Amino acid sequence: MTEPVKGGARVAELADALDLGSSGPKALGGSTPPSRTSSLDRDRSPERRRHENDDAARMVSEHKEPGVKVDLETLEACKRRLSVEAPSEVVQQAWEAAYGRVQKQARLPGFRKGHVPRTLVKLHFADDVRREVAQRLIPDVYRQALAQTQLEPLADPDLDDVKLEEGAPLTFTATVEVRPRIALNEYTGLAVRHAPAALTDAQVAEALERMRESQAEFRAVDRAPMAGDLVIIDYTLTPEGLPPAQETGYGFVVGDGAVMPEIDQAVVGMTAASEREVAVRFAADHRREDLRGKAGVARVRLVEVKEKILPALDDEFARSLGDYATMAVLTDAVRRQLEQEREQDNRRALEDAVADALLARHEFPVPEAMVMRQVAHVIEQMRERMRRQGVDPDRVRWDYNKLAAELRPGAEKAVRRLLLLEAVAEAEGLAPGDADVEREIEAVAARSERSPAAIRGMMEKSGELEGLRLRLREKRALDFLVQHTAITA
């Protein structure tokens, strides 16, 4: 979820990026896209957001800071531009304070540290003084502008037209994104089609077969490889126009699609220690852009062939997996687990159908910052899955532009769904209470075999406690919508 900008720490970095030399400041713009989506809504109550975008140009006099002038302009549904001016008196006070701080650290030949005269500080340390002023004054004035307008930006601002000179007013524009104002249409009485899928005997058998596969052993054999065998090879792969890549002791199962089809086919019929050279062509959607559709040559040396030996599905197999006396007991346990999973899948499918029906009744723009954070969140999930599989994602060449473009439609839909469910939850007063949160913490503690106090402490430290509240609120909104939806098979 996206956090509002609180106090402008990042704004200080933006201010530091200004040209602070004697030639004066230059315009600045373009903040970096956020890299996370795990906290789209942390520390923000619905009550605070309710008034956030009401016409977006209303000044709130009780929060107005003296001296700072702010004009607020609506650029788009989710974008605002603040034109900010701080009076010359405020700027001069900041400059004087900066002179004092720099003077305490200043060193020049013939003077002790902290004893350089003010005139020489102005002459030799003008850039340092300007940087001090920018780093402190711009974030402070920006915070005052947010307080006046009651805006809660979703990301750091784009600062432009920054004018900062000693004895003159400070002026700049800050462009920010805010949440859209959602006018709820009818959201009860939706109609969806949903037929819960039943668990079949074939699916139970497939699950047992996967368990059997996971217990398979591979034994070395003296014959040519066949489909299902594990082969160990050394290879040299030379893409056209690029240097070769080599690897030894590389293993894959013949026929499972884990390698290029030309290499998969080449090993069939080979014998140990034999070599074969084949022409290859990289996939058009290869993860490396420079290899897409490119031709090449692969030289393969077969090192070893291993045959897969599957255990029998019998009582001994069942006992090897845990506290299962017979195969029948294991089969019943697998069936119960699959039924629970199927029930959860059916519920998710129903909730998705209801959410899609709700989305179809509401059109509204979504902030780019939230979309990009959702994209980044999905990419980080992909990287984490690779880590769990023993693959270092930093050693993989990612085409992030292509990946972001592919993920964007799903990210936009996820953000729209989140915002719409929040609006329903707010309208119906479905925010979870402390007791609801405690019950969920106790459930998490029971599953992880830890104390509720320990789980709460970890959640508070990581910021996940507020995320838990948000998930509970979303669940309550979905439960409400499902209860008020007409469902037909």
| pLDDT for res 21 | 32
Q: Sort strands 485-488 and 190-193 into parallel, antiparallel or unpaired.
A: parallel
Q: What Å distances lie between residue 474 and 70, 241, 413, 461, 462, CA to CA? A: 36, 53, 15, 22, 20
Domain boundary among 309, 344, 369: 309
- Residue 60 CA neighbour count, 13 Å, CB half: 16
**Domain coverage including residue 452:** 430-489
Same domain, 18 and 113: yes
Q: Kindly state whether residues 28 and 125 are assigned to the same domain.
A: yes
Task: State whether 64 and 119 are in the same domain.
Answer: yes
Check which CATH number belongs to the domain holding 70 and give it: 3.30.70.1050
Decide if 9 contacts 346 (C-beta within 8 A): no
Total domain count, the chain: 3
pLDDT of residue 119: 87
Query: In the chain, what is the straight-line distance between the N-terminal and C-terminal CA atoms, in Å?
Result: 35
Among residues 293, 309, 325, the one where a domain terminates is 309
Same domain, yes or no: 223 and 172: no
Contact call for residues 268 and 226 (beta carbons, < 8 A): yes
Measured from the Cβ of residue 298, the count of other Cβ atoms closer than 10 Å reads 22
Domain co-membership, 15 together with 156: yes
Instruction: Give domain status of residue 468, yes or no.
Output: yes
Question: Within this chain, do residues 228 and 278 fall inside the same structural domain, yes or no?
Answer: yes
Give dist(CA 87, CA 90) in Å, integer: 6
Q: Is residue 372 part of a domain?
A: no
Task: Judge if 58 and 127 occupy the same domain.
Answer: yes
The alpha carbon of residue 207 and the mean position of all alpha carbons in its chain are separated, in whole angstroms, by 32
Please tell me whether residues 65 and 141 are part of one structural domain: yes
Residue 409 domain-assigned (yes or no): no
| 171 and 224 fall within a common domain | no
Q: How many residues does the chain have?
A: 489
Which pLDDT score, from 0 to 100, does residue 15 have?
Answer: 55
Across 194-337, the runs of DSSP E, i.e. the strands, are 217-220, 230-239, 245-253, 275-281, 295-309
Q: Is 380 part of a structural domain of the chain?
A: no
Answer with the one of 309, 341, 370 that is the final residue of a domain.
309
CA distance 212 to 334: 13
Q: Is 481 part of any domain? A: yes
Q: Could you tell me if residue 288 is inside a domain?
A: yes
**Averaged pLDDT, groups of 10, the chain, 489 residues long:** 42 52 31 33 42 38 60 95 96 93 90 89 89 94 95 94 94 96 93 95 97 94 94 96 94 93 94 95 86 94 96 96 96 97 96 97 94 95 91 85 94 96 95 93 92 92 89 95 95
User: What does residue 390 show for φ and ψ, rounded to 5 degrees?
Assistant: 85, 15
Answer yes or no: do 60 and 159 share one domain. Answer: yes
Q: Does residue 157 share a domain with residue 43?
A: yes
Looking at the domain assignment, is residue 199 inside a domain?
A: no
Q: Is residue 379 part of a domain?
A: no
Return all residues near 307 (Cβ < 8 A) that are at least 6 apart: 218, 219, 220, 221, 229, 230
Q: Are residues 261 and 116 located together in one domain of the fold?
A: no
Tokens of 346: 């059916």
CATH of residue 224's domain is: 3.10.50.40
